[in-house]
Structure 1
């Protein structure tokens, strides 16, 4: 009977498991349930530390991050305090930067230092990299010397570089070791990385000689030297390489891990595919925000003032371009007074041009980011986009021309808007490609700066072509 009770005790669900079974965290759409948030908030307010420690121990770091964001700001810090050592600080890398900084600034440096010690080196660097230097120093000085030096080295690398993303825990062995020696070493060494996909052969000066995948290692016989298994041409990255370049390397060569070397070819870390997935997501989000005039750091948890301040410059630039368009319209005041139909139809022409320009610009910016668009194929792509502009222009010229002529009972008006439509769509294709290429050649991020220029070109050309052709056609001077 005692044995049966012992077995029952070992299989009994924890308090956190029982709660998650009773109150699922997410609904059918993957959002955090309101009932779940309310129950957790109540536990935090009651100070139920035992339940909260059990709960955070059951949640994945990404789920814990979503829970933190869903809580009221005053409860987030309290949750971490009540969870104590059971709180996984890697969850803070899953929340908005503003939320993370707010929490880290409120927590005692010693508490953050203890949490950082449990993280892999790349997660620790990511957690601390955006804090003020004074806060970083307060936390780092509470770490053991070896761990502090490791994180400090990571923070010295440029932002968005491979050095910031790499893990400094890896397995390296001499190339003259045998498979048997290597396997025994991995079995007997307690402080190996928690997860790894390959190991590396290095010489006495830690220079990378090659890489050995785990499947090759496990299929080889014990007496086989590592030198016979290692891939000397293994793709590698430099610690100073941009993270976008690293992501492209992984995608192009289907890598799951890559060694990171310094300028002297010494092995200093490893980047794995989970880090690269984060980079791809971040860069895609950054480009999408930039195209919409939103700063890369803006998050849903930012304050009204922070968001307004970040969006103001883009809106100001767009105001200036709108003023230029208004100036062009004002030059045709007499024509607009004599033919009201022009005022009704001119927004259609400008809108079509703006949409066509945005389509071409989006494709061009993305192609530049992935290095698919370059000097070698730019002319061919330009010819293609111009032909697309001509075809779409002719198609919409027929459609809008028929609509305009029918609606306003003026046959020539259909011809005028048709000619304007062809003109503006050709210019939209030209501007949507040439402007990003020019900005990229000048060293300016085309994702950030292309929008206002393309909009200006399409609006000005749209108004100028439609009103100009109408003025000449109908003699409205």
Structure 2
């Protein structure tokens, strides 16, 4: 037993985070072999908090903690768990144990666990499942990754349009195997094509004798089974949906996507785009060191190439720089401000493309806007930098040169920030992945070329 260990903290979760003292207590009890204490501490936790606890402890302690938690580490906790942590724990389980977990989950959560397994492990787990569950999961796995078919649930309520409200209520009460969590009831025709939908509130407040066809809402947003999950999220956002029917190529109802699934997708896609812009890969704190290095070094090598290109441009004007050291001092200012201006525009453009706010119909208007913004920002920065540089180095010619170069580079940065993502998007290349490299290269190269080129072309000398 653990000696001198404090009682269970009054608030194991504070501000949506596990209390650090609580985590320390769990680790101390685990190291002391006090399994009863570990279970006592974890007893009040929500499955999502149990998942957080598994992520907070050291990797070497997770297997022992999983064994200590026992039934507390259930399917719901696995569904909420970080992918890397979950994969580690799944690898330590037997296929039959994984199959038992999967049977407790909705189809979308079960697919999220099984799709990351090796092919051999997938077959073993699927073989351990009942025929109906196995067929549903195999069908889901047949759809493209990050598609509606992968994230939809098969558990839904569908009724024929010729029923009455009373028949619907009786159907819900007399069938204990129906889905337990749902917001809408879908209405289908004889071919199982969705023709309408009813909210639960309508069903509860409508007399039993009223026909379903007279209550249902015929207009609804249907999600094709192969639609990308990011596009699905945009539809939920645009039309303020709580749930939506998913249909196959023939228009038959095959599943439902609910807003709680969409919240995960929005968080995942938003974080993914930010990390892609920085070249940080998945950016997961639980990602193995080697995987992190492999992803990041790839982009560092690309940046090395662009840096070499910029240095070659500087080399073209080596003689001019030798005549005036002030040029070397001021060069980073031109490149840095241009890079920041380009990054601002690029971030807005990438987000607008991701949310369908930037389309063919408003591209010209957006480019025109960025030109105006760049010219105004460039003028303000040019005046400040030009005056400071001219006064500091007592050289009005130098101040004029850097001011003109600053306006030119910020204008180039604004155009690159919007044109690069647009061009990549037209070639079906994710703008979030490659935009930053090309924008940075453009602003660095053009910044050095404009500044040093103007200095050389106008015969800038230390005396001005």
1:25 to 12, 24, 29: 12
Partner of 1:390: 375
Partner of 1:10: none
Task: Say whether residues 1:149 and 2:138 are aligned partners.
Answer: no
Q: How does 1:400-411 map to 2 (within 5 A)?
A: 400-411=385-396
TM-score of the aligned structures, taking structure 1 as reference length: 0.92
Tell me whether 33-42 or 378-387 shows the greater mean CA deviation. 33-42
Cα distance in 1 for partners of 2:377, 2:57 equals 50
Task: Say whether residues 1:355 and 2:340 are aligned partners.
Answer: yes
How far is the alpha carbon of 1:264 from its aligned partner?
Answer: 1.1
Partner of 1:42: 28
The question of whether the paired residues in 2 share the 8 Å contact of 1:62 and 1:91 is answered with: yes
SS of equivalent to 2:186: strand
**Does the C-alpha gap of structure 1 residues 52 and 199 become closer, same or farther in structure 2, counting only changes over 3 Å?**
farther
Question: Where does structure 2 lack aligned partners over 5 or more consecutive residues?
Answer: 1-5
The question of whether the paired residues in 2 share the 8 Å contact of 1:57 and 1:87 is answered with: no
Tell me whether 464-473 or 273-282 shows the greater mean CA deviation. 464-473
Partner of 1:119: 105
How far is the alpha carbon of 1:96 from its aligned partner?
Answer: 2.8
Cα distance in 1 for partners of 2:73, 2:55 equals 15
The question of whether the paired residues in 2 share the 8 Å contact of 1:53 and 1:87 is answered with: no
Task: Say whether residues 1:80 and 2:81 are aligned partners.
Answer: no
Cα distance in 2 for partners of 1:112, 1:19 equals 34
Task: Say whether residues 1:473 and 2:427 are aligned partners.
Answer: no
**Does the C-alpha gap of structure 1 residues 304 and 371 become closer, same or farther in structure 2, counting only changes over 3 Å?**
same
The question of whether the paired residues in 2 share the 8 Å contact of 1:386 and 1:430 is answered with: yes
Partner of 2:255: 269
Cα distance in 1 for partners of 2:284, 2:238 equals 31
SS of equivalent to 2:446: helix
SS of equivalent to 1:110: helix
How far is the alpha carbon of 1:19 from its aligned partner?
Answer: 5.8
Task: Say whether residues 1:374 and 2:359 are aligned partners.
Answer: yes
Partner of 2:3: none
How far is the alpha carbon of 1:468 from its aligned partner?
Answer: 0.7
Cα distance in 1 for partners of 2:38, 2:241 equals 39
The question of whether the paired residues in 1 share the 8 Å contact of 2:398 and 2:460 is answered with: no
**1:359-405: CA deviation from partner (whole Å, max 9, x where unpaired):** 11110111011111111111111011001111111111110011001
The question of whether the paired residues in 1 share the 8 Å contact of 2:47 and 2:73 is answered with: no
Task: Say whether residues 1:128 and 2:128 are aligned partners.
Answer: no
SS of equivalent to 1:119: coil
How far is the alpha carbon of 1:339 from its aligned partner?
Answer: 0.6
Cα distance in 2 for partners of 1:81, 1:108 equals 13
2:207 to 221, 242, 245: 221
Question: Where does structure 1 lack aligned partners over 5 or more consecutive residues?
Answer: 1-17
Cα distance in 1 for partners of 2:420, 2:104 equals 48
Partner of 2:431: 446
SS of equivalent to 2:362: helix
Cα distance in 2 for partners of 1:30, 1:216 equals 35
The question of whether the paired residues in 1 share the 8 Å contact of 2:371 and 2:414 is answered with: yes
Task: Say whether residues 1:245 and 2:231 are aligned partners.
Answer: yes
TM-score of the aligned structures, taking structure 2 as reference length: 0.94
SS of equivalent to 1:474: coil
Cα distance in 1 for partners of 2:353, 2:365 equals 15
The question of whether the paired residues in 2 share the 8 Å contact of 1:77 and 1:107 is answered with: no
Cα distance in 2 for partners of 1:106, 1:411 equals 71
Task: Say whether residues 1:109 and 2:106 are aligned partners.
Answer: no
Cα distance in 2 for partners of 1:87, 1:457 equals 51
How big is the alpha-carbon RMSD for the aligned residues of Structure 1 and Structure 2? 1.7
How far is the alpha carbon of 1:301 from its aligned partner?
Answer: 1.5
SS of equivalent to 1:90: helix
Task: Say whether residues 1:190 and 2:176 are aligned partners.
Answer: yes
Partner of 2:307: 322
How far is the alpha carbon of 1:133 from its aligned partner?
Answer: 1.6
1:283 to 262, 269, 294: 269
Partner of 1:14: none
1:98 to 76, 84, 87: 84
The alignment covers a number of residue pairs equal to 456
Cα distance in 2 for partners of 1:55, 1:187 equals 38
How far is the alpha carbon of 1:46 from its aligned partner?
Answer: 4.9
**Does the C-alpha gap of structure 1 residues 353 and 158 become closer, same or farther in structure 2, counting only changes over 3 Å?**
same
1:259 to 245, 254, 266: 245
Cα distance in 1 for partners of 2:42, 2:161 equals 43
The question of whether the paired residues in 1 share the 8 Å contact of 2:51 and 2:82 is answered with: no
How far is the alpha carbon of 1:32 from its aligned partner?
Answer: 2.7
